[in-house]
Structure 1
Amino acid sequence: MDLTIRKNGTIPFTKGDPRFFTGNVIIEQVHDSEEPSRVTSAIVTFEPGARTNWHYHPLGQLLIVIYGTGLIQTWGNPPRKIKAGDVIWTPPNVKHWHGATATTGMTHIAIQEKLNGKTAEWLEKVSDKEYEEAQSASE
């Protein structure tokens, strides 16, 4: 087997599914491995105010923020502001959400592994009230 090179401009992108995201989100699926590898990765762009639902990853997730400013929050903990250049590791099975601030977009590279074919377990939406409280707490 040889290298696989996906040329710039050939990676398809989709809008974030409203069942899992609030607001405008664009996902570029950079890599979706085949067995025996489990690694997947995507470039995810959140417009201001956009965010994920609460969710967790069975094998954890690595985020590399490459543009803008965003927020991330784990269940039961205060939100944290994240900026371009930050690298965030969320351990396996930790309930969390992430997205842009209300006034600034944010793009990150997301890297995670599949367990039994799934990279995430999607949960309830982050309510507008929760999001507004996160905005206030992170300032």
Structure 2
Amino acid sequence: MFSGAATIEPLYMPKDTAGKEVSAATVTFEPCARSAWHTHPKGQLLIVTSGTGWIQQEGETKQLIKAGDTIWTPSGVKHWHGATDKTSMTHIAVQPYSSEGKNVDWQEKVTDEQYFGK
């Protein structure tokens, strides 16, 4: 799910499987920490609350994100996000659930070559 040091603090989690609509968590990434590649069946909203980080959609250039930025990733778009190599980054992640009760599909880890752009 993550490479490096990342802390997840749930903000909102549905109490049961019936009627799941959305979950939300604050995620703090230490320098060089990042998520694995993943998709969301109904998309994901990120609200960067502190620090600077990177986000990348498959086939696209890595983008710098910073406190105050909001990022919407559409459903089914493969992507990753995390801290830069020199700074930490915290964001609130909000993701709706699909009708099957899923909100994320984790995939392979981001390699150092992908992360550092080598």
Calculate the TM-score normalised by the size of structure 1: 0.80
Q: 1:118 aligns with which of 102, 108, 112?
A: 102
Mapping 1:63-78, distance limit 5 Å = 63-78=46-61
Q: Which has the larger radius of gyration?
A: 1
For residue 109 of structure 1, give the secondary structure of its aligned residue in structure 2: strand
Shift in Å, 1:118: 1.4
Of stretches 26-35 and 55-64 in structure 1, the one that deviates more from structure 2 is 26-35
Question: Does residue 1:28 correspond to 2:4, yes or no?
Answer: no
> d(CA) in 2 for partners of 1:128 and 1:37?
35
Aligned to 2:21: 38
Cα distance between partner residues in 2 of 1:77 and 1:36: 35
- Structure-2-length-normalised TM-score: 0.94
Aligned counterpart in structure 2 of residue 131 of structure 1, from 99, 115, 118: 115
User: In structure 1, what is the equivalent of residue 64 of structure 2?
Assistant: 81
Give 1:105's aligned residue: 88
Contact 2:42 2:97 (C-alpha < 8 Å) held by counterparts: yes
Q: Which AA in structure 1 matches 2:39?
A: Y
Distance in 2 (alpha carbons) for counterparts of 1:119 and 1:65:
20
Please state which structure has a larger fraction of its residues in strand: 2
1:32-59 deviation line (CA, Å, top 9, x unaligned): 1243241100000000000000000000
Unpaired segments of 5 or more residues in structure 1? 1-19
The alignment yields a C-alpha RMSD, in angstroms, of: 1.1
Return 52-61 or 25-34, whichever deviates more.
25-34
Count of residue correspondences:
115
CA distance in 2, matches of 1:49, 1:123: 19
**Gap runs ≥5 in structure 2:** none
Question: Aligned partner of 1:83: which letter?
Answer: K
